[in-house]
Structure 1
């Protein structure tokens, strides 16, 4: 458990990523379970409307965003492994809070407990992912940072895909079953993460967080703009199908996921091998094309093709811009940089759906995808600017 710290140079095998990805999968499965169960519980059991449901779910994202800085600093100073263990412990504590919602109380009282649990879970999520990415980048070095981000992302989205239906099934057996799984899954992840080798934090001067944010801001802005298409697809594609009278709306989300995971499996090494800015530029062109196809689709088939292209294009944007961000920050501040970088994604998810929703409310559901295409094009300009001005800090 407390082995001699390893250096990136002494550890070359990417097989060491396997326990990290398993721990990420188990930890984020608890988040997926909550997403599959809580909306129905708040709406059907507690009797609240859609706005309250949305606010209860959004509480986690706000807590995650607010603690990215602290999580990054913890990973830089105490190590990614320790930070991840703390995060998984916090996630398990959030499950214990959920158990309190099964006690006899008014609907308002149980809702308050759920919101507290969501806030605690958001803190845990921040520490888990920032710590895990910090551990992986420190162990494998900047030359493989893209692959670390790719595989951690695959584990995270697979956890959402598996956890959501599990949560819906567990809710049919009572909310206590949902709460119990929300405790058990992070504890299982904790046992796996405890086997990770200790990697000493990088030495050298650590930059102030404001300086770190400034160094990764362009990369983060590119990520945020690219994420608008993701938000538009997740929020409005099923509504577009319903409005047009098309069948099999769910297939668009399935195909989006297939494109996303498929390209990650094929191209996990591309950002490291060809450069993040170059990969981002190509991927954003594919993403914009996919959004334009959904926007202009005359039938469901074209919309499905657009969904596949959107998922494939968005797939490598996070690691591509992430590689560029890490190359602009000295080693001692890279976990903080990752926390700042991922915060741009948090902001995009919080703001992206309302932005697309404003367009949909004024011009119809299809216009949300035109907004997504425009945002992807703007992100491509950011990627092009990174090509013109490469990183000047040593990797």
Structure 2
């Protein structure tokens, strides 16, 4: 008896594309918890600089989203994805050089920032192009499913890559870990050679990027606000545990990723079935509880449970809102809209690192997660307002 993947080649191709994203995203996941450790422990700099080392990668993604979306629409998703994989590898090599220059902290930090910017630009290309590629393979009717499985790949990589990075840092050092990070996107590049191209739209008329952002602003704002919780876990969970002298610091991203992937696997179809906003409302409420648990944790088990709940809550917000965004724009604007939409999440990731680092220096690491809770609460209020407005429109003839 043949499997459904055998009967439908598009499903097999989507699975391979998801594997490409998972393997290559380990290049992002592995440095995430160890860059702050490298900056504070080996370079002797403050938490503000540690947060900047993490967050500057997202600055590159924010600034490049519009260009990347247009490139994806005009030249094709496969070209954009392969360029992103190359930038991943080059950025990891530059960060490797920073590890070898730790004896000169200021110079090493400057080199590290250069590598992180390249990785951020690569991530911008990958996340937009791979989703657009997946939607092109299976069709827009299954867009939230594509967003769900791609997100599962990303956060599955985070769940594995986070603790793996911590272990490798202890065993082979920062430079050795970056060397392994440089190899992974090369494997992903080779895997893309077996995937079909999807149609580009080089000549289609397109409105300004700002006008597209205007259509999707509030959906993007929800994604931005929910992203604060994950960014806080990624940048400061290890340092929080070390400051409290708690064990199992490397399991924060694992707990988050486990909750994230669990929901994506079991409920990835829900936005297509019941609508994006109801799913986002429930998700943001769960994230809010998770961030409060980390903020008030008297014991590491509470903090890990909070990370798990944050993963459960964050899991479906991006695909839920992404489904609504895809429905708001024409097919030839899909890459541009997804680029702008993803930029909202990048803003959360890029600003949370340095600002939360500044807060941690003054008020302690736990207060960082109070900010995450307030972000989730604000996103919940916006989602409730959009849902109420949508229901009124549905009832009005």
Smaller-chain TM-score range? Answer: 0.7 to 0.9
Change (3 A) 1:298 1:139: same
**Residues 100-144 of structure 1, C-alpha deviations (whole Å, 9 max, x = no match):** 557789724444333222222221111111111111122223221
> 1: distance between equivalents of 2:254 and 2:50?
24
Gaps of 5+ in 1: 1-10
Contact preservation (8 Å) 2:280, 2:383: yes
Change (3 A) 1:255 1:112: closer
Change (3 A) 1:110 1:306: closer
Task: Answer yes or no: is 1:20 the counterpart of 2:24.
Answer: no
> 2: distance between equivalents of 1:201 and 1:187?
24
Task: Answer yes or no: is 1:72 the counterpart of 2:69.
Answer: yes
> 2: distance between equivalents of 1:176 and 1:352?
26
**Residues 46-82 of structure 1, C-alpha deviations (whole Å, 9 max, x = no match):** 5545443433333322112111111111111111111
Residue of structure 2 in register with 1:132 after alignment? 130
How large is the RMSD of aligned CA atoms in angstroms? Answer: 3.5
Q: 1:54 aligns with which of 51, 54, 61?
A: 51
CA displacement at 1:301 relative to structure 2: 5.8
CA displacement at 1:208 relative to structure 2: 1.4
What are the within-5 Å matches in structure 2 for residues 1-395 of structure 1? 13-35=10-32, 38-98=35-95, 100-101=97-98, 107=104, 108-171=106-169, 172-173=171-172, 177-202=176-201, 204-234=204-234, 254-294=254-294, 305-352=305-352, 368-390=368-390
Contact preservation (8 Å) 1:36, 1:166: no
CA displacement at 1:13 relative to structure 2: 3.6
Could you state the TM-score of these two structures normalised by the residue count of structure 1? 0.82
CA displacement at 1:33 relative to structure 2: 3.3
Contact preservation (8 Å) 1:92, 1:184: yes
> 2: distance between equivalents of 1:57 and 1:305?
24
Contact preservation (8 Å) 1:293, 1:303: yes
Query: SS in structure 1 opposite 2:198?
Result: coil
Query: SS in structure 1 opposite 2:328?
Result: coil
> 2: distance between equivalents of 1:20 and 1:318?
19
Change (3 A) 1:384 1:140: farther
Change (3 A) 1:294 1:81: same
Contact preservation (8 Å) 1:359, 1:371: no
Q: Number of paired residues?
A: 382
> 1: distance between equivalents of 2:231 and 2:165?
22
> 1: distance between equivalents of 2:26 and 2:173?
18
> 2: distance between equivalents of 1:364 and 1:39?
15
Query: SS in structure 1 opposite 2:205?
Result: coil
Change (3 A) 1:76 1:177: same
Change (3 A) 1:293 1:322: same
Contact preservation (8 Å) 1:360, 1:367: yes
Gaps of 5+ in 2: 1-7
> 1: distance between equivalents of 2:356 and 2:112?
28
CA displacement at 1:325 relative to structure 2: 1.4
Change (3 A) 1:97 1:235: closer
> 2: distance between equivalents of 1:236 and 1:96?
24
Could you state the TM-score of these two structures normalised by the residue count of structure 2? 0.82
Residue of structure 2 in register with 1:5 after alignment? none
Contact preservation (8 Å) 1:228, 1:353: no
CA displacement at 1:307 relative to structure 2: 3.9
**Residues 204-240 of structure 1, C-alpha deviations (whole Å, 9 max, x = no match):** 4322111111111110001112223334455666777
CA displacement at 1:334 relative to structure 2: 1.0
> 2: distance between equivalents of 1:240 and 1:112?
25
